[in-house]
């Protein structure tokens, strides 16, 4: 794991955007994996700025989203379809036919999940997968006890995750119970995983992810097994890391060719 600690979410997000932009400039046909929620929004704003001001070109990029709520139409204001088009896709020049998001209205969910996995394979795999992390250590919607080898599938949300998302739905009782999510095994196949975590509420989960054992009880800890997992943290999210000073030292003393 590469642990990069920045003073605040904006600085960490700008660094994340530079990593994504470099990938796209080096390979205009890059495959990007996107996450939803509040955490990646500053990153998406910076990518939009880079597109508009610096000419960052997404016209040949293919994208895959991590997850979607079961039972929500793409037009539903809380669907991840709607969120991604409002915050990113509708503001850059990505081709709609290259955008893939799980279908929350699929009649045959297992078949739709298998097709999603096949689409990722046909695209050549994901070059950079953006991730957030839940307060219980979930990534995507892989809740605690998820198989570390899991693939895209339906999952039942925990009470904690539904509480965490209640504000967006106007009450916990309105939050769907089920989602479609990429599995941990799917995520691990991305060439680079870029996890963003901001705020004190994420500090315990970050510490367990980085410095605890690899365990299904903390799904994000599986990133310890990834060949290139980069964690971008603000000071609050890094506040419970025992070796934070070492991570800062490593970051500050990289050779130029290794710097992000």
Which secondary structure element, helix H or strand E, spans residue 232, and what is its range? strand 229-234
Angle, in degrees to the nearest 10, between helices 41-54 and 80-87? 40
Catalytic: which of 46, 68, 127, 143?
A: 143
Active site residue 235: no
Which of 233, 248, 166 lies closest to 203, judged by CA? 233
Enclosing H/E stretch for 13:
helix 9-26
Catalytic residue among 46, 136, 164, 234: 136
- Give the number of residues written for the chain: 260
Nearest CA among 45, 35, 34, 33 for reference residue 9: 45
Nearest by Cα to 197 from 68, 2, 8: 8
Catalytic residue among 138, 164, 226, 234: 138
Q: What are phi and psi of 212, to 5 degrees?
A: -95, -175
CA dist 214 and 17 (Å) reads 28
Rounded Cα distance between 192 and 172, Å, is 34
Mark whether 143 is an active-site residue: yes
- The catalytically annotated residue of 46, 51, 67, 127 is 67
- Residue 112's SS3 state is helix
> Residue 107: phi, psi to the nearest 5?
-70, -40
The verdict on whether 178 is a catalytic residue reads no
* CA–CA dist 184, 101 (Å, integer): 17
Whether 67 sits among the annotated catalytic residues: the reply is yes
Q: Which residues pair with 99 in a beta bridge?
A: 63
**In 10 A of CB 111, how many CB atoms?**
10
Active site (catalytic) residues: 67, 136, 138, 143
């Amino acid at each position: 794991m590469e642990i990069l600690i920045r003073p605040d979410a904006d600085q960490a997000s700008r660094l994340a955007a530079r990593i994504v932009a470099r990938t796209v400039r080096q390979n205009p046909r890059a495959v990007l994996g996107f996450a939803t929620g509040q955490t990646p929004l500053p990153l998406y704003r910076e990518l939009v700025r880079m597109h508009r001001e610096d000419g960052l070109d997404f016209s040949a990029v293919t994208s895959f989203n991590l997850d979607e709520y079961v039972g929500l139409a793409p037009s539903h204001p809380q669907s991840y379809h709607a969120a991604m088009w409002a915050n990113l896709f509708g503001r850059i020049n990505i081709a709609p036919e290259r955008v893939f998001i799980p279908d929350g209205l699929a009649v045959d969910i297992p078949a739709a999940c298998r097709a999603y996995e096949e689409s990722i394979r046909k695209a050549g795999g994901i070059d950079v997968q953006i991730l957030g992390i839940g307060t219980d250590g979930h990534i995507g919607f892989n809740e605690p006890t998820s198989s570390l080898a899991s693939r895209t599938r339906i999952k039942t949300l925990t009470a904690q995750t539904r509480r965490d998302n209640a504000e967006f739905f106007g009450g916990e009782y309105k939050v769907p119970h089920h989602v479609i999510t990429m599995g941990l095994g799917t995520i691990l196949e991305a060439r680079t995983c870029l996890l963003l975590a901001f705020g004190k509420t994420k500090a315990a989960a970050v510490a367990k992810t980085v410095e605890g054992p690899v365990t299904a009880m903390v799904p994000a800890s599986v990133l310890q097994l990834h060949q290139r997992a980069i964690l971008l943290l603000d000071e609050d999210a890094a506040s419970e890391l025992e070796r934070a000073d070492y991570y800062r030292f490593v970051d500050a003393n990289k050779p130029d060719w290794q710097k992000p």
